[in-house]
A and B are shown apart, each in its own frame.
Chain A
Amino acid sequence: MDKMPKWADVILTPLISLVLAMGISALVILAIGESPWVALTTMVEGALGSSYGWGFTLYYATNFIFTGLAVAVAYHASLFNIGGEGQAAMGGLGVALVLLNIPLPHWALALPVAMVGAALFGAAWAFIPAILQAKRGSHIVITTIMFNFIAAALLNYVLVNKLRPVGSMDPASARFPESTNLPALTDLFASIGIEWGRNTPANITFFLALAACLLVWVLIWRTRLGFEIRALGKSEPGAVYAGINPVRITVIAMLISGGLAGLMAINNVMGESERLVLNAVEGAGFIGIAVALMGRNHPLGILLAALLFGFLYQGGGELALWTTIPRELIVVIQALVILLTGALDNMVRVPLERLFLSRRRTGGAKG
């Protein structure tokens, strides 16, 4: 109706925001006396220029897909789950407990079992904030934040006191059995005779992440549960009128959200480090919020945004490695992207909408 076309809404707006963020970043880089062009080429070259770079970019993107989907599912129920960090950490604990305690002869067998562990632990960590929100009205933003800290402390305790092998000085679990190690993408490519991304962490979890995108899309837009989640998210009185139980849907949405965040551990814990280390999540839970925001809580958008943030992560690392641009600047660039695509979204959207409207009006007058 009185809106701009969908492609402009979904693609053009974030793209313009992105260009703006890059522009401002360029100014910042200029201001510290470095060349923005060198910075850009270093990032692109480092993240996308070789199969090695891609191997890292895809690995990071996989993490962000899971945490981004986690935020999105909760968001559709109008719940702002910012506990992805803690839920992913607990997912790691689930993976470690499963793999260290259940003898599993092959990775194909270990994968589904570890997934159950990861999802269950992540979901359990989301359950308490969910039930507190649904029954007592304790705000989920506050409780999930607090649960991030509790998860960090709990993991610290478990790693130092329970899972640390005797004699080790490192607050990390023992290595998982060799048989449970997931094939890296390198191995996959090698099996068809292509040399790709040696020594990179990207592994078959990436395909799981793609499947998760599809499943979340089906869940949200094709199932009754998704219908009820979205209805509750838009109007609680409406949901009650429609016979939807807000407590039940709130809890289910948060369980799914926490489960998805927990599943990230398949990538970083089972797929990459192959043991549980301290602070394994490395902020991916928070990046997931930005990814979901930028991806407009749609799985396809989240996939694209996760790839972008994977690129920023990997490219940023390369920047610190090969140029004199300090590592902190990467955080500035990431922050600008988040700020412009997320928080300042309307800054681009509103003028753009006006532009489309005025074009339509003059076009209509001619026609």
Chain B
Amino acid sequence: MATAGKSVGGRSDTAAPAAIELRGISKAFGPVQANRNIDLRVPKGTIHGIIGENGAGKSTLMSILYGFYKPDAGEILVDGRPITIADSQTAIRAGIGMVFQHFKLVRNFTVLENVILGAEDGAMLRPSLSKARGVLKQLAAEYQLNVDPDATIDSLSVGHQQRVEILKALYRQADILILDEPTGVLTPAEADHLFRILEGLRDEGKTIILITHKLREIMEITDSVSVMRRGEMVASVRTAETSPEELAELMVGRKVLLNVDKQPARPQAPVLEMRNLSMVDDEGVERLRGVNLDIRAGEILGLAGVSGNGQTQLLEILGGYPPKNAKVGGEVRMNGQPLPLSGSRCNAGQRRRDGIGHIPEDRQVEGLIMDFAAWENVAFGWQDAPEFNKGWLMDNAAIRSDAAEKMERFDVRPRDPNLAARNFSGGNQQKIVVAREIERNPDLLLIGQPTRGVDIGAIEFIHKRIVELRDAGKAILLVSVELDEILSLSDRVAVMFDGRIMGERLPDQTTTGELGLLMAGVTDMSAPATAGIPPEDQHPEERA
């Protein structure tokens, strides 16, 4: 609490009993102090947000609550009684339920089987299953948690899978529900539905802890919010008494520009033209269905959509590496020349020579080799470049000095080219990728999720560089699941759903609501029925 200049949340309503209280929790991993003397008090029957940048220590704190880590110091009180949470079983018995960012479901089991998994009553399954069926029915009625108990997880949409996770926790009689970045994979409408469920749970007296990095969600749903920065709890405030700007400043420790500062675009001739681009993957599923898009020089085209609707495949095809055994149809032209979509000329190296840069969606799996040093990663993908080679050998000295320069210009910290990529924070890893691709000055830059897992300070920096590249007259395709990012950065927004482009909008002439409906596959805005019902409930199984 030492650093908090703010009033400490919950103090004002000390009268309400705390569902969970942390006192002086500290946890270190080696020399890294992940949590330092954390105090937190969450009153019963409230929704409490925990917000902070990546690496601020949110996940560590929650892992301590769920018994994955043992704190070095401090105590945990549940319902006023101090307890030691040795493992997740203890946490469950104490009434703590966790909904992870990456669902922990058995994909080929039914909903019912997943719910009882680990909570079976005896050796035989049947009694547990029929008991669970009853409980599920009751929960569904109580909290709008409708899921077909006999559907397998595979056949459910992401939003429904998340409900199964919540049901699992409730079935284990959780009174305190912790949700880790729950909306990352949801459409805005699905997220709204989730929030209604959470409100329902709160009104029934459950306590909810919501971990997120989205300020909008905090403002929308929480009663109080705690801000973490560098392992410390820097403030706890009532949501009604704060603002997004104040929270952002608390998270980063300095003033932050939430909106991207940019001039209107001056688009020129199209650089990339896609005509009727289609793709069927090796399982026969159509991932892209007749995509027509133009990207002009000097503009940023934002491609919005819930992840898994074909954006990844589109980036891979344009990047020169369509998924194995996929059938790609249609035509793509780059500066008027057709791009090969299959065969040996369709590879990422050739695409780079054709002037296409690519910041891939998953920097840890694709964009970087995590065990390679930073300087090696600066040559990654460009290992053929003449300036990196000297006869038979790679010119390591040249690569190193190039890396040092790029790290300097992009303010990568620590500025140590010999450090392995995995030892950089998410934001600095991304800066290495962005530096490598942008500094090549590509005619077309493909960008996937540029700021996923990146702290706010680095987001600001990366956005600025992307806009600079646009102003230099380059074409940019921006794929992001963050609607806010798409809206603030793009000059034009296209929405993708189920492999189709649902429509194009200008960012200043649309709303999150309209885009959200497009993202859920609803084009007929005039139909009154769609207004109130979450679109995912109309097309629940289509996206499987």
Q: Decide if B370 is an interface residue (CB 8 Å cutoff).
A: yes
Known: A237-B365, A241-B348, A241-B360. A227 touches B383 (CB 8 A): yes
- Residues 326-371 of B contacting A (Cβ, < 8 Å): 347-352, 358, 360, 362, 365-371
Q: Which of A223, A241, A244 contacts B367 (CB 8 A)?
A: A241
Please give the distance in Å from A330's CB to the nearest CB on chain B: 37
- Measured between C-beta atoms, what is the minimum distance from B5 to chain A in Å? 28
Chain B nearest CB, measured from A12 CB (Å): 19
- The answer to whether A2 and B32 touch (CB under 8 A), given A234-B370, A235-B366, A238-B367, is yes
Interface presence of B423 (CB below 8 A): yes
Interface segment, one of A31-39, A107-115, A258-266, A356-364:
A356-364
Q: Which residue of A lies closest to B350 (CB)?
A: A243
Give the residues in chain A near B320, CB-CB below 8 Å: 243
| Interface bits A262-280 vs B (CB < 8 Å: 1, else 0) | 0000000000000000000
Report A-chain residues with C-beta under 8 Å of the C-beta of B32.
2
A241–B358 contact, CB under 8 A? yes
Known: A1-B423, A243-B384, A364-B31. A231 touches B372 (CB 8 A): yes
Contacts of A223 on B, CB cut-off 8 Å?
392-394
CA distance A319 to B376 in the complex (A): 48
Chain B residues within an 8 Å CB radius of A364:
31
Known: A223-B394, A243-B347. A237 touches B383 (CB 8 A): no
B380 touches A242 (CB 8 A): yes
| A245 is an interface residue with CB less than 8 A from chain B | yes
Minimum Cβ distance to chain A for residue B280 (Å):
19
- The interface residues of chain A lying within 8 Å CB-to-CB of B393 are 218, 222-223
Closest A-chain residue to B362, C-beta based? A237
Q: Does B252 contact A (CB under 8 A)?
A: no
Most buried by B among A1, A235, A237, A243: A243
B369–A360 contact, CB under 8 A? no
Q: Tell me if A235 and B381 are in contact (CB < 8 A).
A: no
* A366 interfacial contact with B, CB 8 Å: no
Interface band, chain B: 35 or more
Q: Whole-angstrom distance between the alpha carbons of A1 and B374 in the complex?
A: 14
> Is the C-beta of A10 less than 8 angstroms from some C-beta in chain B?
no
Q: Are A361 and B31 in contact (CB under 8 A)?
A: yes
What is the CA–CA distance of A245 and B319 in the complex, to the nearest angstrom?
14
- A229-250 CB mask vs B (1 if < 8 Å, else 0) is 0110011011011111100000
- On whether the beta carbons of A240 and B369 are closer than 8 Å, the reply is no
Please give the distance in Å from A134's CB to the nearest CB on chain B.
Answer: 12
- Does any Cβ of B come within 8 Å of A136's Cβ? no
Q: Which residues of B contact A2 (CB under 8 A)?
A: 29-32, 423
CA distance A234 to B372 in the complex (A): 9
Alpha-carbon gap, A339 to B529, bound state (A): 68
A318 at the binding interface (Cβ < 8 Å): no
Closest to A242 in B: B381
Inter-subunit contact A227/B379 (CB<8 Å): yes
Whole-angstrom distance between the Cβ of A5 and the nearest chain B Cβ: 14
B195 on the A face (CB < 8 A): no
Is there an interface contact between B365 and A243, defined as CB atoms closer than 8 Å? no
Q: Are B369 and A234 in contact (CB under 8 A)?
A: yes
Measured between alpha carbons, how far is A324 from B300 in the docked complex, in Å?
Answer: 81
Chain A, Cβ-Cβ closest to B389: A224
Chain A, interface SS category: helix
B394 and A224 form a contact (CB under 8 A): yes
When distances are taken between beta carbons in the complex, the residues of chain A under 8 Å from B410 are: none
B-chain residues with CB within 8 Å of residue A235 when the two chains form the complex: 365-366, 369-370
- What is the distance, in angstroms, from B389's C-beta to the closest C-beta of chain A? 6
Across the interface, which residues of A come within 8 angstroms of B396, CB to CB?
A: 222
Q: Is A231 a contact of B348 with CB atoms below 8 Å? A: no
User: Which residues of the partner chain B approach A1 to less than 8 Å between Cβ atoms?
Assistant: 419, 423
Most buried by A among B352, B358, B369, B392: B369
Give the chain A neighbours of B372 by CB distance below 8 A: 230-231, 234
- Report how far A25 CA is from B396 CA in the complex, Å: 45
Contacts of A244 on B, CB cut-off 8 Å? 349
Q: Is B109 an interface residue (CB 8 A)?
A: no
B381's partner among A241, A245, A357, A361 (CB-CB below 8 A) is A241
Cβ contacts under 8 Å, B379 to chain A: 227
* Chain A, residue nearest B420 (CB): A1
Asked if A85 CB lies within 8 Å of chain B CBs, one says: no
- Per the 8 Å Cβ criterion, residues 374-402 of B in contact with A are 376, 379-381, 383-384, 389, 392-394, 396
Does B171 sit within 8 A of A, measured CB to CB? Answer: no
CA distance A218 to B392 in the complex (A): 10
Would you call B68 an interface residue if the criterion is a C-beta within 8 Å of the partner chain's C-beta atoms? no
B residues in contact with A230, CB < 8 Å: 369, 372
Whether B69 is near chain A, meaning CB under 8 Å from some CB there, is no
Inter-chain contact A243/B394, CB cutoff 8 Å: no
Determine how close the nearest CB of chain B comes to the CB of A168; give it in whole angstroms.
47
| Smallest CB gap from B371: residue in A | A234
Q: How far is the CB of B323 from chain A (nearest CB, A)?
A: 10
- A241 to B348, alpha carbons, bound, how many Å? 6
Q: How far is the CA of A212 from the CA of B380 in the complex (A)?
A: 27
Q: Once the chains are docked, how many angstroms separate the CA of A361 from the CA of B392?
A: 44
Q: Which residues of B contact A227 (CB under 8 A)?
A: 376, 379, 383, 394
B-contact 0/1 string along A203-224, CB 8 Å cutoff: 0000000000000001000111
Contacts of B370 in A (CB 8 A): 234-235
Most B Cβ at <10 Å: residue of A228, A230, A244, A245:
A244
Contact: A228 with B369, CB < 8 Å?
no
Closest chain-A Cβ to B51's Cβ sits at a distance in Å of: 27
When chains A and B are docked, how far (Å) is the Cα of A244 from the Cα of B369?
13
A218 to B396 Cα, complex, angstroms? 12
- How close is A324's CB to chain B, nearest CB, in angstroms? 49
- Least Cβ–Cβ distance between A297 and chain B, in angstroms: 13
Interchain nearest-CB distance for A264 vs B (Å): 25
Q: Mark B46-72, 1 if CB is under 8 A from A, else 0.
A: 000000000000000000000000000
A-B contacts, 18 of them at CB < 8 A, read: A1-B419, A1-B423, A2-B29, A2-B32, A222-B396, A227-B383, A227-B394, A230-B372, A231-B383, A235-B365, A235-B366, A241-B358, A241-B360, A242-B348, A242-B349, A243-B347, A243-B352, A245-B347
On B, residues with C-beta under 8 Å from A are 29-32, 319-321, 347-352, 358, 360, 362, 365-372, 376, 379-381, 383-384, 389, 392-394, 396, 419, 423
Q: Across chains A and B, which 8 residue pairs bring their CB atoms closest together, nearest first?
A: A243-B349, A243-B348, A242-B381, A241-B366, A2-B30, A234-B369, A1-B423, A240-B321
Known: A223-B394, A244-B349. 10 other contacts (CB 8 A): A222-B396, A238-B365, A238-B380, A241-B358, A241-B367, A242-B349, A243-B320, A243-B347, A357-B31, A361-B31
